Every structure is written in structure tokens, then in C-alpha cells.
Structure 1
Amino acid sequence: MNSIIKEILEQIIQQMDRPLSFAAISGIIGGGLFMWNLSRFLSSLKTSWEVLTISAYYVCHAVVRSLQRLLWTYNGVADQLVMAEYGAVYDTCVHVQKIIHRGRFSIMNHPRPWDFVGVHEGFAHPQTLLNPSITLYCVTPTHAYFLQCPEDIDVHQSSISPFMYMAQYYHAEKIYSIPLGHFHRLADEVGDPRVPVIWITSTGRCGSTLVGQMLEKLPGTRCLSESDSLTNISLMQRASQLGPSELSKTIRSTVRMLCKEAPGVQRIVFKCRFNCVTELEPVMDHFPQFRHIYVYRNLGAVMKSYFKFLHRDTAMCLLEWLVNSRLISHAVPFVRNYLVHFIAGKESLEKVEPILPKVNFMGYVTAIICSCIVEFQNMTRKGIVVQTLHYDELMRNPVEVTSKLFQLLSLPQDYVHMSLAAMQHDTQHGTILSNIYYRNSSNARQMTGKDTKDINVVLQAMGLPDMKHEMSLPNSLME
């Protein structure tokens, strides 16, 4: 809106043959202020509408679920669900529901079953879940949830959405749930992936989506960019909702089901969110044949990028307000305590816990993101070797770096230049994560000195470079 006002004013001034009078200048300034205030009002109205509609959705979801429990108790569906959960039946253990409504408050939320309101359609055999149009969406401590999309929608393709979980959410028609025990049995029947798998881990906001889309250019390549069931598992691990044995088994079953056999797929690229670095070691144990790359960037660029897109998300802006308000933070300490549970590893938590009460929202965000970098560093100290790729190196020497990457991943060098075509496009087009699309728009607020200070305080406590210095990780691809 501000850019439009500026453009209109410039055109008016250019078309004037004589100096503007005081009245004209006052009118222009007054009109500009009016438009600016109108822009702020419309923005506030939009935010209020988002909060209202999503709140109404969650109320609707709760009401429907309560009524369903009563109805399913009456018609016997509840008995079938209980028998399936306790292992009494297998052939009809998959619950099928038709989706009638959907709602998510924040794009940052990991997928959850209550993203949808569904109505009972029937029960199915677990083999139904091997249908190519049915894909794993999320995992809970008790169930795994799959979504069915139209057959002409391939949720793996970046042309549909840069991120698989978004494509699934927007295009899903049915939701399938299966008890975790039966999920493991089905995964055992499916077995390990029968094609090569390339596993991309990263700091986030570092070009990992670009790397995935570059590899997707190769014929026969399927890219799973943020299939977020693994994100569910990493967060359940932090919350101690799964024991070590069940956690390991769930990771293995999840990867098997995500990499199930499909016509024409010759290789799979799996790019997970930054927090899934805690699942990297178990994945390497279960699937030693996978090839790995860790993508990262200087922390100043990483944190600035996170700041930009977080402040385009209504839920994150509301969360920031709750955290940064001293009155609310003291009255409702749950908000800050809730964020602490997203920090990975005891070591990082012990380092930052004393300073967390003094930092603002961006301090907490830094602790959550960078604790995952510390976890990766700890892995390398244990002798686990994963090649690392710095985003700036890729930007400086795209051909040389891509050629090295292909060599590491045993990919044909003939396709290097084909893969570079991905660099000509906005890899996150159509989402609030795209800093290219939002380049000329104003954020809810700009990064302040307090934000920068708190980010650096947390980085220092974790033993990481501050926002002005470069970060270098061992096992560089270019060494």
C-alpha cells in the first residue's frame, strides 16, 4: 500500500508544470496520511478476521468431535476403533473419513489431525494406504494419519507447492488413521526404500529448499520437501511422549512409508525441517545406504530471514506480543515455558536457561533454531561424518559446487546444468516464506536493536558466531 501511495505522488509531481502551492502540498500529505491510516486499519481488520475465523474453526471442530463421539458410540464405530487400537483387528483397522472442513492458524504449525474436520466413511485394509494418491501426513503417540488427494495432484512436486505438507493440506479429500502398532506392521511389509535416497538436513532459511528443487530437476527424482511427519516425531521426542524403542521404531516406519515404491521414481530426495536434525542419527543407523548433505548459512542471514517471514504470520505476531509483554509473561508464564520445550538437547537448554527470562521473542526463536545446530556439531564431534554445504559457496560458484554435490551423491554430471535452472525461480513462491515475493512489502515491524542484542546474547551462550561473523562447519563439500 505504501509503495502505491509513493508511486501516485511521484506521478502527480512529474505532471505539474508549476511549483505546488501550500494547499496542494497539504492536500497531498493529508491524502497520504489518510491512505496510510486506511492501510493500517485494513491490516488490523484482516488480522482480526483471521483470528476470528480460525477460532470459529476450532470451536466447530470441538463441537463436531463431541457429537461424533456420541454418534460413534451409538452406531458401533467407537467399538471398532477401540478393537483396532488394541490390536484385535488388522484387516479393517484403517478409519476413513471424508474431509468437510479444514483450518490451520499458523503456517509454522506442524501438521496435526485436527487440521481437518471429517465425517465417518468406513474402515479399510492397511494395504489401501499404499495407493499412490494417499500419503503420510502426521504421526501422534497413538496413530499415523494419511491424506488422500486427487489423482491428478502430485503433492511431492514443487510445482504444486514448495512444501509437501502444504500441498497435502490444501488438496486433501479424505483422512485415514491407523493405530501406531498396525502402522509399524504395514511399514515392515513395505520394507526399506528400493531406490537411492538423498537426505537433506539444514539450519533452515539457508537454501535447502533450492538444493532440493535442483535435485528434483533430474529425471525420475521425487522430492519430499518437508513431509512433516518427521517433524511430529522430533517434537514428540523433545516432549518425551515416546520411549527410546518406540521412537526408533516410529522413525523407521515413517521413513519406509514416505519412501514407498511408486511408478517411475528412480531416486528420492528427502528435505526435512531444521528441527529434524535430532532424527538424523537414528535415520543413519536404520538406513546406512542413504546419502546425506547438511546445508547452512551465516547466522546473521539465517536469523534475519526467519525474522522476516515470522512477522508475516499472524499467529507468530500474536505469540511475540504475548512473550514480549512483561505483564502477560508474568501473569501467564505458560507462554514462555511452552517455547522452552522446542529447544533441542539438554546441553543447549542448560546454556540458555539462565538468560531466557531476560530475552524477547527473537531470543527464544534463536535458542530453538540454533540448538539444532549445536546438536549437529555434537554429532560431528562423535565422529559422525556428514558433508556440509555453505549457501554462499553455492551462490558464488554454482557450477563447481553443484558438480561436487553430484559427485558426492553419485549423480550423473550430465544433469548439472539442468539442475541449475532451479536457481532462476522463487523456490518458495506462493507462501509467506518467500522473501522474494515480499521484497517490496513492509513487515509488521522492523528488527530492532533489542532483537539483535538478544539474538547475539543467545548465540554467545551457545558458543556460536554472532550475527556479524561467518559460521564454518567441518566436512565441507568443497574441501
Structure 2
Amino acid sequence: MDTALKWIVTFFKLYFYFILLLINNVYEFFVRIFCGHTPAGKIRLRKILLRYRIDPEEISRTEDFLLSPGIFVEPASLDHPNWHIYCIDENLVTFVYLKSSIDKYSIAHYPFMYEHMNADTVQVAQLSHDDFIKLANTFEQKSQPKTVLFTNTARCGSTLMAKMLHHPGKSICYGEPHCLANLAIMDNANILSPEVISLLSRKKPNE
């Protein structure tokens, strides 16, 4: 009986999710028609109308939120410690404004930061790939901390290693931001060209 109940619950979760996904896609279609595409050099700042995920551990996606049409603002608005990249798809980069500054989501507090980002999101901002690259170039003109990226497989002890490398005041470690998983998935599926993947991931020519 328990197994049957679990299957029924799972079925209705999936059914509800696909209905929401359909509504979201139709809604976004009309937003683009009546509100227009985001002008070049601007970001679309949007309020959350509804958030829904089947599993808190699934890959972060643009469709995790049903959003208001929003307003257009300058990309410089994202220069704040509470803004963080949530996900990247074939057209947009989605930022979220979190309840706390990004350092609160380090490995010292959360082994997997993505599990808490959806629930802690207050507001959403979206911009095109081109404007994201321009914004990143602007940020790179400022003094930036050195960044090291470790890739890993499941059950390899990466969380333990990250905690060992985390030393407040000297180094800060984050566990599994999903924007990198988004890029890896699109690269593997040939959704985006290697050149675009390199630009979005800020990969240097000699890397």
C-alpha cells in the first residue's frame, strides 16, 4: 500500500509540474509579445509569483519560477553581494537575489548551496548571454579574488575536501553551484557551441 501511495503521489507531482511548465511557457510567450524582449544593455528585474520544484536536488532551471513581467534596469544593479547566478539556459542567464549575502551559502553552512537558493530567492533578474559577458568583463576590471574550480564525481569526498580548504579570511569554498552544471549539460548535448560555453564560463584561451 505504501508503495502504491508513493507512486500515486509521484504521478500527481509530475502531472502538476508539467501543467505548470506548460502554463509557464505560454505565459512567457505572451510576456515577450506584450512586454517585448529585454533591450540590449538592460536586465529584466522580476518578482516571483510562484516557485515549484519536484525535488530540491534537481538541476536549477529557469522554469523553477513563474515570474512577473518585470521592469528593465541597468546591469550594474547586480553588483551586490546578495545577487548570485542561479542558472544558465540556451538564451538567458538568471540571477537571484538571496536573503543573505553569498558568503552565507559557503561550504561552512551548506554542503550543497543549490538546495537552498530556490527557497531563499527574493527576486529574479534575467539577461542575455551577450549582456552577461559584457557585465562579467566590467566586473573583471575590478580587483577579483583568485578562483580555483574543482570538478568531482559522486561519493568522492569532495565535500570533506572543500571543508578542509575553507578558511574564513583566507579562502571560501562553495559546494556545487548549478550554473556550472547547466553549462556542462548544454555542452554535452551540443545545445551551445564550444565558443559560447567558453565565453559564459569565463574560460581563458590557454585553459
Counterpart of 1:55, as a letter, is Y
Partner of 1:95: 44
Write the distance in 1 (CA, Å) between the matches of 2:19 and 2:145.
44
Give me the identity figure in percent.
22
The answer on 1:238 being equivalent to 2:159 is no
Conserved in 2, the CA contact under 8 Å of 1:102 and 1:117? Answer: yes
Give the alignment's Cα RMSD to 1 decimal: 2.6
The alpha-carbon distance between structure 1 residues 71 and 146, as it changes in their structure 2 partners (threshold 3 A), is: closer
Query: C-alpha displacement at 1:236, in angstroms?
Result: 1.1
Query: C-alpha displacement at 1:244, in angstroms?
Result: 2.7
1:114 pairs with one of 39, 63, 66: 63
1:131 pairs with one of 80, 99, 102: 80
Partner of 2:97: 148
The answer on 1:223 being equivalent to 2:146 is no
Number of residue-to-residue matches in the alignment: 206
The alpha-carbon distance between structure 1 residues 248 and 143, as it changes in their structure 2 partners (threshold 3 A), is: same
Higher gyration radius (CA): 1
The alpha-carbon distance between structure 1 residues 205 and 216, as it changes in their structure 2 partners (threshold 3 A), is: same
Q: Deviations over 1:265-301 (max 9, x none)?
A: xxxxxxxxxxxxxxxxx56935xxxxxxxxxxxxxxx
Three-state SS of the structure 1 residue aligned to 2:172 is strand
Write the distance in 1 (CA, Å) between the matches of 2:27 and 2:61.
20
**TM-score between the two structures when normalised by the length of structure 1:** 0.39
The answer on 1:49 being equivalent to 2:17 is no
The alpha-carbon distance between structure 1 residues 62 and 160, as it changes in their structure 2 partners (threshold 3 A), is: farther
Partner of 1:175: 124
Query: C-alpha displacement at 1:49, in angstroms?
Result: 1.8
Three-state SS of the structure 1 residue aligned to 2:12 is helix
Conserved in 2, the CA contact under 8 Å of 1:141 and 1:241? Answer: yes
Q: Deviations over 1:338-393 (max 9, x none)?
A: xxxxxxxxxxxxxxxxxxxxxxxxxxxxxxxxxxxxxxxxxxxxxxxxxxxxxxxx
Query: C-alpha displacement at 1:141, in angstroms?
Result: 2.1
Write the distance in 1 (CA, Å) between the matches of 2:25 and 2:114.
23
User: 5+ unaligned residues in a row in structure 2: which ranges?
Assistant: none
Write the distance in 1 (CA, Å) between the matches of 2:107 and 2:144.
23
Partner of 1:285: 206
Q: Deviations over 1:454-473 (max 9, x none)?
A: xxxxxxxxxxxxxxxxxxxx
The alpha-carbon distance between structure 1 residues 153 and 179, as it changes in their structure 2 partners (threshold 3 A), is: closer
Query: C-alpha displacement at 1:149, in angstroms?
Result: 1.2
The answer on 1:213 being equivalent to 2:183 is no
Query: C-alpha displacement at 1:134, in angstroms?
Result: 0.8
Counterpart of 2:147, as a letter, is V
**TM-score between the two structures when normalised by the length of structure 2:** 0.85
Query: C-alpha displacement at 1:218, in angstroms?
Result: 4.0
The alpha-carbon distance between structure 1 residues 96 and 164, as it changes in their structure 2 partners (threshold 3 A), is: same
Counterpart of 2:19, as a letter, is V
Query: C-alpha displacement at 1:108, in angstroms?
Result: 5.3
Write the distance in 2 (CA, Å) between the matches of 1:73 and 1:285.
42
Query: C-alpha displacement at 1:170, in angstroms?
Result: 2.0
Query: C-alpha displacement at 1:205, in angstroms?
Result: 1.0
The answer on 1:59 being equivalent to 2:19 is yes
Structure in which a larger fraction of residues adopt helix: 1
Partner of 2:153: 203
The alpha-carbon distance between structure 1 residues 98 and 201, as it changes in their structure 2 partners (threshold 3 A), is: same
The alpha-carbon distance between structure 1 residues 107 and 67, as it changes in their structure 2 partners (threshold 3 A), is: closer
Conserved in 2, the CA contact under 8 Å of 1:212 and 1:223? Answer: yes
Write the distance in 2 (CA, Å) between the matches of 1:283 and 1:109.
29
Conserved in 2, the CA contact under 8 Å of 1:149 and 1:168? Answer: yes
The alpha-carbon distance between structure 1 residues 155 and 138, as it changes in their structure 2 partners (threshold 3 A), is: farther
The alpha-carbon distance between structure 1 residues 199 and 99, as it changes in their structure 2 partners (threshold 3 A), is: same
Query: C-alpha displacement at 1:121, in angstroms?
Result: 2.8
The alpha-carbon distance between structure 1 residues 112 and 219, as it changes in their structure 2 partners (threshold 3 A), is: same
Structure 1 residues 5-24: aligned runs within 5 Å: none
Q: Deviations over 1:80-99 (max 9, x none)?
A: 43xx3xxxx31xx2112212
The alpha-carbon distance between structure 1 residues 208 and 71, as it changes in their structure 2 partners (threshold 3 A), is: closer
Query: C-alpha displacement at 1:219, in angstroms?
Result: 3.3
Structure in which a larger fraction of residues adopt strand: 2
Write the distance in 1 (CA, Å) between the matches of 2:158 and 2:107.
13
Counterpart of 1:52, as a letter, is F
Partner of 1:162: 111
Three-state SS of the structure 1 residue aligned to 2:115 is helix
Write the distance in 2 (CA, Å) between the matches of 1:43 and 1:283.
50
Write the distance in 2 (CA, Å) between the matches of 1:70 and 1:108.
30
User: 5+ unaligned residues in a row in structure 1: which ranges?
Assistant: 1-40, 253-281, 287-479
Write the distance in 2 (CA, Å) between the matches of 1:152 and 1:203.
28
Query: C-alpha displacement at 1:181, in angstroms?
Result: 0.5
Write the distance in 1 (CA, Å) between the matches of 2:172 and 2:192.
30
Counterpart of 2:8, as a letter, is S
Counterpart of 2:50, as a letter, is H
Write the distance in 2 (CA, Å) between the matches of 1:64 and 1:129.
25
Conserved in 1, the CA contact under 8 Å of 2:83 and 2:102? Answer: no
Three-state SS of the structure 2 residue aligned to 1:147 is strand
